[in-house]
Amino acid sequence: MLVVIDNAIPYIKGVLEPYMDVEYAPGDAFRPVLERYRGVPKCLIIRTRTKCNKALLEDSNVCFIASATIGEDHIDKDYCQACGIGVASAPGCNSAAVMQYVFTAMAACGLLLEDACQRSNLTMGVIGAGNVGEKVARLAKALGMRVMRNDPPKQAEQQRLIGEGLFSADSAIEYFELEDVLENSDILTLHTPLNSSTVGLAGKHFFQTLKKGAHLINASRGPVVDDDALLASKKPGLFLSDVWNCEPAINERVLDRAALATPHIAGYSVEGKQNATDAVVRAMAAFAGIDSLKSFTCHKEDERHHLDTEGNLKSQLLDFFPIAELDNALREHPENFEKLRKEYIYRHEFDY
């Protein structure tokens, strides 16, 4: 069996070679490899740049896809299911890195107040309270902010568990309706998956409802924000974004509108990348029956930073992650979006 691996996935070279035939290719250039090995059973290990749809997969003999990403919106799962192609991903692998991004972006734009008493007057709205959003909510709470979570699927699942007696109502997380979150949040951060219910979620009605002076951070997926609605609105106050419609050919008017702009690297930490590689290797091992790799772990570099929540937050966060350098580089050469992303040096996460 052949496994085709995105050549930008770190920590994976040499891992599968003792067990399978391996080819490496750029994420957007898998098709020539698939055609070269027509008729050979194949597995793919990919990132978001490989669009796994009928155009790529038809007559390819692909039987399994493992994505080193938290999301799966680049994979046509209906088509894969119809063709008997297995799919796995790495949910939560870089959730701590994206949380780090959110608070560092806030610090860089003066939104993360140093005074704890002043922070207690701020409300953070978290839209999408999954692996990433929940980490964001918990740190915001630890820093003294009020937190309003919006996540209808999570809310429904919690209610189901309470109703079946499998979860205590006393331990329940409080969720809010979207309009309540929009009307009451001073800082709003998006962490939804990309699907039919979230494309254009931040559209005309969203911005009309948004509290005047509120700020918006998007570290989920670009299409969650409707570019036209954003550009037509006087809200939000500040727009901070790591993700964009039509990447890498981003809308420069939206880039100009952003107070902070980065090339989709929020999740690019050493630890996040190691977690993702662990997940796809283990998934591949389970699919192919490679017992020795079913508990595979990358070499873990124990170099996490420690965030002193009582200390100067801005200086610590910007020391851990000098985010302004990326913002400047993207603004100077937006055509280098993909180059900046590929050449980004992974940073270490923090604990607190």
3-state secondary structure of 217: strand
Q: Which of 221, 282, 341, 347 is catalytic?
A: 221
Which one, of 1, 43, 31, 8, lies nearest residue 281 by Cα?
A: 43
Could you give the CA distance from residue 198 to residue 73 in angstroms, rounded to a whole number? Answer: 11
Q: Which of 247, 257, 305, 338 is catalytic?
A: 247
Pair of tokens at residue 196: 């039919």
Amino acid identity for residue 241 in this structure? S
Could you give the CA distance from residue 128 to residue 70 in angstroms, rounded to a whole number? Answer: 13
Pair of tokens at residue 194: 């990309």
* Residue in the block written with tokens 């965030």: 307
Using CB atoms within 10 Å of the CB of residue 324, give its burial: 0 to 12 exposed, 13 to 18 middle, 19+ buried. middle
Pair of tokens at residue 108: 């860089």
Helix (H) or strand (E) holding 123: strand 123-127
3-state secondary structure of 297: coil
- Catalytic status, residue 247: yes
Could you give the CA distance from residue 252 to residue 245 in angstroms, rounded to a whole number? Answer: 11
- Catalytic status, residue 221: yes
- Give the catalytic positions in this structure: 221, 247, 264
